[in-house]
Structure 1
Amino acid sequence: MAERIDVRFAAADINSQTGIFSGYGAVFGNLDSHKDIIMNGAFKASLAAWRAKGRLPRMLLMHGSSGNPFTGDDLPIGVWTAMREDAKGLYVEGQLLALNTDYGRRILSLMQGGALDGLSIGYVVKRSSAGSGTAKRFLEAIDLREVSIVDEPSNDLARVATIKDSLVAVDLEGAYAKMQKALRAMAVTPANDNGLDGLAGRIRALARR
């Protein structure tokens, strides 16, 4: 099951000319909203595997289509140039691309303005142990899949939150139900139900990813 963790970064770290920025994809020792704590060394094996491939995980916006199946885009918005573990967590350096386009300039502007001020990792837990106290699990080995730029509340200094796949599935089904209700309220009736049924099937397929 893929999971996500969000960590806020400072907009001042972004170079407006080159699009280069840095931050932390994850911070060790923080208890997230699902009572998980990432342990020091959790990314070691995954980073080694990526180095063996000669590349790093993709840089996406809001986790691409998995984060928003209706408007999400799986096309990378930049490249990660460095990733490593240090005493604090998973340190990353990256560069936004296509800054000569309206889309690239828009993302840069949103990051500089603090509207997009978070980094979020998509990962799969490979090894964990039972937690103690308020912690449910200690995450000891993580398979890193991608690192996204995301929006994050400005009053959170280093908040860590995990979004489970099960929650995404519930949101997708809810979105379909609301859309169906709205269409019926507007007396919009398709020639047949294949349109709505097809959309429902697509939503359920995305939810099972």
Structure 2
Amino acid sequence: MESGLEMKFAGGRPVMREGAVIEGYASRFGMPDQGGDIVGAGAFGASLARLASRGDKVRMLWQHDPAKPIGVWDEIREDATGLFVRGRLLEGVTLAQEAATLIGAGAIDGLSIGYRTIRAEKDGKGRRVLREVELWEVSLVTFPMLPEAKLGRKGETPEDFAAALIAATEALRG
């Protein structure tokens, strides 16, 4: 007796092209995070310059876990908005493939910075304003300390952001 239930099996893991690109703002200047800290404009400049002079890079990690690198940041720069990052999830890293699937489904979109404070001061409301930090890593995270730190360029319309996510998903399925 036939139950009407159909099953299809494609086999294998989801396919991700080498160099699946992600981008967004890992930090936004002038916005208090959930701990009350604010990153001031220019806070990353000296650290980025030191890294470049040594030929070193900021690491791309999964959930701030140093044992779980998932890709490389090809571009990290400060602009008027904050710390912009663009990088690639690496095909040969199983966790990167999982991250790509989660990003494509919209389950993960947070970015978060790992750093050491070099110089900070209190503002008029008693909040810590980070004036200089040593940037170690930028992670893909489920819950960023700064909710506005997300994949996708800030300032685009929600429709543009949705279109970018759809395009990224199609590229990952590629």
Shared fold by TM > 0.5?
yes
Amino acid at match of 1:108: A
Deviation at 1:23, TM superposition (A): 0.6
CA shift at 1:55, angstroms?
2.4
Equivalent position of 1:124 in the other structure: 116
Amino acid at match of 1:48: A
Equivalent pairs, count: 133
Which of the numbers 141, 144, 147 marks the counterpart of 1:150?
A: 141
Q: Secondary structure at the match of 2:69?
A: coil
1:108-160 deviation per Cα after TM superposition (whole angstroms, max 9, x unaligned): 11011122211111011110112112x4221100110111111138xx96169
String of CA shifts for 1:142-199, please: whole Å, max 9, x gaps: 110111111138xx96169xxxxxxxxxxxxxxxxxxxxxxxxxxxxxxxxxxxxxxx
TM, length-normalised to structure 1: 0.58
Unaligned runs of 5+ in 2: 1-15, 151-174
| SS across alignment from 1:77 | strand
TM-score, normalized by length of structure 2? 0.69
RMSD: 2.2
Q: Which residue number in structure 1 is paired with residue 38 of structure 2?
A: 37
Consecutive unaligned residues of structure 1, counting only runs of 5 or more, are 1-15, 66-73, 161-209
Map of 2:75 onto structure 1:
82
- Name the aligned partner's letter for residue 139 of structure 1: L
Which structure's residues are more often strand, by fraction?
2
Are the aligned partners of 1:115 and 1:152 in contact in 2 as well (CA < 8 Å)?
Answer: no
Give the ranges of 4+ consecutive aligned residues of structure 1 lying more than 4 Å apart after TM superposition.
none
- How many Å separate the matches in 2 of 1:22 and 1:102? 20
Q: Which has the higher helix share?
A: 1
Instruction: Give the Cα separation in 2 of the matches to 1:126 and 1:104.
Output: 31
Percent identity between the aligned chains? 40
Distance 1:75 1:102, change over 3 A: closer
Partner of 2:22: 21
